[in-house]
Amino acid sequence: MTFYGFAKSVVYTIFKPWYRVQAIGVENIPKEGGVLLCSNHISVIDPIVVGIMQPRPVHYMAKEELFKLPVLGNVVRKCNAFPVKRGFNDREALRTGLKLLKDGHVFGLFPEGTRSKTGELGKGLAGAGFFALRTEAQVVPCAVIGPYKSLRKLKVVYGKPIDLTEMRQTKASAEQVTEIIMSEIDKLIKEHKKASA
3-state DSSP assignment of residue 38: strand
pLDDT at 194: 74
pLDDT over 70 (residue 197): no
Q: Which helix (H) or strand (E) holds 146?
A: none
Instruction: Kindly report the pTM of this predicted structure.
Output: 0.94
State how far the Cα of 14 lies from the Cα of 30, in Å rounded to an integer. Answer: 26
Whether 21 contacts 115, CB under 8 Å: no
pLDDT at 42: 96
pLDDT at 157: 98
pLDDT confidence bin for 85, thresholds 50/70/90:
confident
pLDDT at 86: 73
Closest CA to 137 of 34, 59, 60, 37: 34
- Strand extents, DSSP E, the chain: 21-24, 35-39, 58-63, 81-84, 106-109, 138-145, 154-158
Write out pLDDT tens, residues 146-187: 889 998 999 999 999 999 999 999 999 999 999 999 999 999
Write out pLDDT tens, residues 24-83: 999 999 999 999 999 999 999 999 999 999 999 999 998 888 888 888 888 899 999 999
pLDDT at 90: 86
CA-only gyration radius of the chain, Å:
16
State how far the Cα of 67 lies from the Cα of 45, in Å rounded to an integer. Answer: 17
Whether 88 contacts 109, CB under 8 Å: no
State how far the Cα of 33 lies from the Cα of 125, in Å rounded to an integer. Answer: 24
State how far the Cα of 112 lies from the Cα of 101, in Å rounded to an integer. Answer: 20
